[in-house]
Amino acid sequence: MLFGRIRPLESRELTVQAPTIDEAHTQVEAQVPDGWVLTDAAATMPKASTMITLNARMARRDGAQEIEADDLVALRAKVPEGWQLLSVREG
């Protein structure tokens, strides 16, 4: 018997503007819900502007569940659309 740990594969993008990179990062972090983490952030300063634009991506990291099957092919077939298989163990 194999056991697999799965979680939802979901991400979102958001953009904020602020006068400093620290303020932009603080604004982004305030918008990240529980169970989510920042995975990427890119800062730019448009020409003729004093504001920083921060484009960030966050991904869901909660909602993990365990599935089981007799073999790896069957285990992978049980992973629902929009989910990812994180680990496999024998039991």
Per-residue pLDDT of the chain (91 residues; tens, 9 = 90+): 999 999 999 999 999 999 999 999 999 999 999 999 999 999 999 888 899 999 999 999 999 999 999 999 999 999 999 999 999 999 8
Domain range for 60 is: 2-90
Number of domains in the chain: 1
Strands 11-18 and 52-60: antiparallel
| Residue partners of 70: CB distance under 8 A and separation at least 6 | 1, 2
Residue spans of alpha helices (H) in 1-91: 21-30, 72-77
User: Tokens in use for 24?
Assistant: 């932009």
Q: What is the 3-state secondary structure (H, E, C) of 66-86?
A: EEEECCHHHHHHCCCCCEEEE
User: Tokens in use for 34?
Assistant: 């529980």
User: Tokens in use for 11?
Assistant: 């991400």
